[in-house]
């Protein structure tokens, strides 16, 4: 499987002739994020993860394109009928030939007085876990973690704790679109420290960079 970071929280997974795109939001640069996609996974409704206009345009251009997502996003796309599938914690589904296990229910807290919105993390083919905006720990091994590198809802010590809890073989930073060059340098230092501590491959991919993942 090939993993490509497309900007901020968006990643593209390619296996054989199939392509899965996760969280193509408004912070993902305009371009070919959805071109050739077999299916799309959306963790939650925030615009940095879900760009309704872009997704609708892609679905209009490709009548075979389908979406698998949280109940809130599915509700906002309800007019598209059976091409939009609502999933939740504990579900196991086949998405365009990828086996997807769904983990997590809520977004991390953003305001002490506001209940969290739904958030669904996706473990693809038992290889790659994208948690969305939550620090969800699946109850099965995670070889490759899409690691949130920065967010209004996360502190640096929580990132270290999350890596220790998931204990992936490799982790590639996503969710870093709010950082300038200084912030990226600080974040990468912490990710590098965590990698040294674990003796594993934890690092940031620049937008457009791909890695080939070993077979499970």
Average pLDDT along the chain: 96
Give the pLDDT band of residue 54 (cuts 50, 70, 90).
very high
Q: Enter the DSSP assignment of 9.
A: T
Q: Enter the DSSP assignment of 104.
A: -
The pLDDT tens digits of the residues spanning 128-181 come to 999 999 999 999 999 999 999 999 999 999 999 999 999 999 999 999 999 999
Q: Whole-model pTM? A: 0.96
Give the pLDDT band of residue 29 (cuts 50, 70, 90).
confident
Q: What percent of the chain has pLDDT over 90?
A: 95
Q: Give residue 216's pLDDT.
A: 73
- List the beta strands (DSSP E) in the chain: 2-7, 10-15, 18-22, 39-42, 66-69, 84-86, 92-95, 98-103, 121-124, 128-130, 144-148, 170-174, 201-204, 210-212
Give the pLDDT band of residue 26 (cuts 50, 70, 90).
very high
The pLDDT tens digits of the residues spanning 34-53 come to 989 999 999 999 999 999 99
Architecture per CATH, domain 2-205, reads as: 4-Layer Sandwich (3.60)
CA atoms of 168 and 81, how far apart (whole Å): 37
10 Å CB burial of residue 149 (0-12, 13-18, 19+) is: buried
């Amino acid at each position: 499987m090939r993993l490509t970071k497309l900007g901020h929280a968006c990643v593209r997974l390619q296996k054989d002739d199939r392509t899965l795109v996760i969280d193509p939001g408004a912070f993902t640069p305009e371009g070919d994020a959805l071109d050739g996609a077999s299916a799309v996974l959306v963790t939650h409704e925030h615009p940095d993860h879900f760009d309704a206009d872009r997704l609708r345009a892609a679905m209009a251009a490709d009548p075979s394109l389908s979406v698998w997502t949280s109940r809130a996003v599915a509700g906002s796309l309800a007019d598209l009928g059976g091409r939009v599938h609502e999933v939740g914690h504990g579900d196991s589904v086949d998405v365009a030939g990828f086996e997807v296990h769904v983990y997590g229910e809520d977004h991390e807290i953003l305001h002490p007085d506001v209940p969290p919105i739904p958030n669904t993390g996706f473990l693809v083919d038992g290889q790659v876990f994208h948690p969305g905006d939550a620090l969800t720990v699946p109850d099965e091994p995670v070889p490759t973690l899409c690691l949130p590198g920065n967010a209004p809802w996360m502190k640096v010590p929580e990132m270290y704790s999350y890596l220790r809890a998931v204990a992936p073989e490799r982790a590639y930073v996503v969710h870093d679109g709010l950082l300038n060059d200084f912030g990226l340098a600080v974040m990468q230092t912490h990710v590098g420290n965590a990698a040294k501590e674990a003796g594993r491959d934890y690092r940031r991919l620049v937008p457009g960079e791909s890695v080939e993942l070993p077979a499970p």
